[in-house]
Structure 1
Amino acid sequence: MVMTSNLKKWSRSIPLALCLTGALSVNTSTAGSITTPEILASSLCLDCIDYQVIGMCLWMTCTPLGCDTDTSIKVKHRLPDMVAMSYLNTGEAPWQATQWMSPTTPGAKGGGSSHKRSPTLLDNATVTFQNTDIIGHPAEGTFFEMLSSFGYTLEGPSTPFMPYYLSSLDTLGWRFNIPDVFNVSSWNPLTNRLGNWGSVYPRGGFSIQKQPYKSAAMAAYKASHVVTRPMQSRVYQSLIADKKQGYWPPEAIGEKDDETFWQPLYPKQEMKAVAWPDIDDSTTTGDPYAERISETGEYVWGVWRTYRGCEQKGAMLVAHFGN
């Protein structure tokens, strides 16, 4: 079901202090694989930010005495909008501070391979299942303090520690593919694919993919695909920035997406971000993704998205150039 208005009011009214309190007081049976300080440190990534001055904007302000014009630079850079996690067992999210958000529930079981039952009745060794959480990146304060040293910067829509998607709360959508199973995109294997990693639809936790890293990545991608779109018949909180004068946020995540970049945080943290899929292994004999496989079945990525904009220097934007 679409997230109700009450849930939206709830999400808007949560003070950040409450999220931080829950994060600090967590006491679960598993210690978690990555901590908030580690995620904060990962955001100090120049390659991920990719700050560029790309053009100019022309502004105009008119009064009864006449019109004045002014210019401002147009910039492009990425923002760490979300942390995406794929993992096997509910209640055991790899980010320690957020485990309390998605506890084990009767309707949301653990994941792994070779299940006795899958929604599409595809019961074989290549069918895998992952739980997935999408959480607002915690780097808002420290990140923007560093980013301001570049000059003019843009803000994104993300709220730190906000749970935008918790697969344990979206049982019908994530485990039973409802309503995506009725979408025509779910029945056409030639469209809506992320390279040779797998099909985007149906956007659930099951994948026909025996390579563990690709399977986990597809789960994170599908959840991000939902979150960056409005009015999906799922239990989620949308993460969308509205266009306005002098501000051009990224479009929804899609195939052949050059606006969204994924920074590995666990099992191995890297100070770079790449667009998926970043390796063409269609003609290779080995497995170039083998070194990315997590022994625990847990994966965490920082999701960076590209924003463009310029400082408002007038009442009306009359022209701009640069992409």
Structure 2
Amino acid sequence: MKPHHVLRPLSLVFTFSLAFSASAAINTAAIVSATLSPQCLEYKVVGICYWLFCTNFGCKVRTSTKVRHYIPDAVVSAYSNTGLNPWSEVAGMGSPTSTAQAGGDGTTNHVAENNMAKFKEADVIGHPGGYVFSQFASSSGYTCKGATTAYVPYLLSTLDPIAWRYGIPESVYPEALTPGRREVGSTQSGDLWGNVYPRSGFLHQSDDYKTGAVIAQRAGDVTTRSGQVHVYLPMLAQAQDGYWPAGELIESDASTGKWQELTPTLSQTCAVFPNSGPQIQAQDGGYAWALWRPYSCCKRRGQIFLGSVDFQ
């Protein structure tokens, strides 16, 4: 079903509220400041790397410390209408196109109805806090580089209308047709937020916050893989000697990535969905999270990498 609501003007107000709903707009300065989170960084020394260092006088083995930490690779936004990305400075990237007009939910029935089809656009854009984060992280020791470039759009759902608005072809994938497969939360725990497939903008969910979270998970799922049937750029770095980049994002698995809420509330901690913290409903249906992903690396100390050993 194609969204049909009329596009609303973009709000540039940056506010927070302790009520059950809040304005969703956030600016770059606030996003950058949110990178100063030790809990999200989770810096650890995890092993030792071995290098063969040779000169004209012979060769010897040198060692360096192997570290692991998380990096805020991207800002992932999920919002109800085209052009209304809550990250105000980049909202124009998701403007309406000839094939992606406006937005809104797929039904006008009561909001508490369990079968409501809610719709969100999604943008995945390179995190702007690279310099500030690097200065912050380097205080812990040697740091790794991430896979993204600031402000680069890795996915704009308005440019991916066939997959995002109609679920083609993923609506017939086994992941979309098999109950209990690739889901955020679970029916066993009584906290099922939604299915990852099909990775489109529609979700049968009455809770707007949970809808935004599942849509963000879908967008992160697409952009952390190569060869997907979507219009996007993969957020993947090449492994090198002494460098182990983040891989595919898997729902509810913090070892593959975790989320820091940026709006409607600005959090200083990271979690995976479903999270147990405050779930504030955005008045304008706009949500944004920073996606932090794990990287491991060690300083090069020779011409040939001999391998590494991880601590148990």
Q: Report the TM-score when normalising by structure 2.
A: 0.84
Gaps of 5+ in 2: 1-8, 14-24, 186-191
Aligned residues of 2:53 and 2:303 also touching (Cα < 8 A): yes
Q: Residue 71 of structure 1 is aligned with which of 63, 73, 87?
A: 63
Q: Residue 243 of structure 2 is aligned with which of 247, 257, 270?
A: 247
Aligned: 1:131 with 2:121: yes
Compute the displacement of 1:66 (Å).
Answer: 4.2
What is the letter of the counterpart of residue 289 of structure 2? W
Aligned: 1:189 with 2:176: no
Compute the displacement of 1:231 (Å).
Answer: 1.4
Aligned: 1:275 with 2:272: yes
SS in 1 for 2:194: coil
Aligned: 1:152 with 2:148: no
- Aligned residue in 1 for 2:157: 167
SS in 2 for 1:150: coil
Count of residue pairs brought into register by the alignment: 281
Aligned: 1:31 with 2:12: yes
Distance 1:56 1:85 in 2: 37
Gaps of 5+ in 1: 1-27, 117-122, 280-287
What is the letter of the counterpart of residue 187 of structure 1? L
- Aligned residue in 2 for 1:19: none
- Aligned residue in 2 for 1:23: none
Aligned residues of 2:116 and 2:204 also touching (Cα < 8 A): yes
Post-superposition Cα deviations, 1:201-251, rounded to whole Å, max 9, x if no partner, equal: 110001111121111111111011000111112111111011111111122
Distance 2:107 2:161 in 1: 16
What is the letter of the counterpart of residue 271 of structure 1? Q
What is the letter of the counterpart of residue 48 of structure 1? C
What is the letter of the counterpart of residue 43 of structure 1? T
1:319/1:211 Cα in 2 relative to 1: closer, same or farther (>3 Å)?
same
Q: Residue 295 of structure 1 is aligned with which of 283, 291, 294?
A: 283
What is the letter of the counterpart of residue 132 of structure 1? A
Aligned: 1:313 with 2:310: no
Between 1:44-53 and 1:218-227, the stretch displaced more is 44-53
Distance 2:252 2:289 in 1: 18
Q: Residue 180 of structure 1 is aligned with which of 160, 167, 170?
A: 170
Distance 2:106 2:218 in 1: 20
- Aligned residue in 2 for 1:96: 88
Distance 1:157 1:294 in 2: 30
What is the letter of the counterpart of residue 127 of structure 1? A
- Residues 17-28 of structure 1 mapped to structure 2, 5 A cutoff: none
Distance 1:256 1:215 in 2: 15
Aligned: 1:223 with 2:223: no
Aligned residues of 2:114 and 2:206 also touching (Cα < 8 A): no
1:57/1:75 Cα in 2 relative to 1: closer, same or farther (>3 Å)?
same
Compute the displacement of 1:253 (Å).
Answer: 0.7
Aligned residues of 1:114 and 1:125 also touching (Cα < 8 A): no
1:29/1:260 Cα in 2 relative to 1: closer, same or farther (>3 Å)?
closer
Compute the displacement of 1:67 (Å).
Answer: 2.9
Compute the displacement of 1:302 (Å).
Answer: 0.8
Larger helix fraction of residues = 1
Distance 1:65 1:72 in 2: 22
SS in 2 for 1:254: coil
Post-superposition Cα deviations, 1:177-210, rounded to whole Å, max 9, x if no partner, equal: 1121232222112211121111111100011111
SS in 1 for 2:40: helix
Aligned: 1:201 with 2:231: no
Compute the displacement of 1:70 (Å).
Answer: 0.2
Distance 2:96 2:105 in 1: 19
Compute the displacement of 1:79 (Å).
Answer: 0.5
Compute the displacement of 1:124 (Å).
Answer: 7.6
- Aligned residue in 2 for 1:84: 76
Compute the displacement of 1:294 (Å).
Answer: 1.5
Compute the displacement of 1:56 (Å).
Answer: 1.1
Compute the displacement of 1:272 (Å).
Answer: 0.7
1:63/1:177 Cα in 2 relative to 1: closer, same or farther (>3 Å)?
same
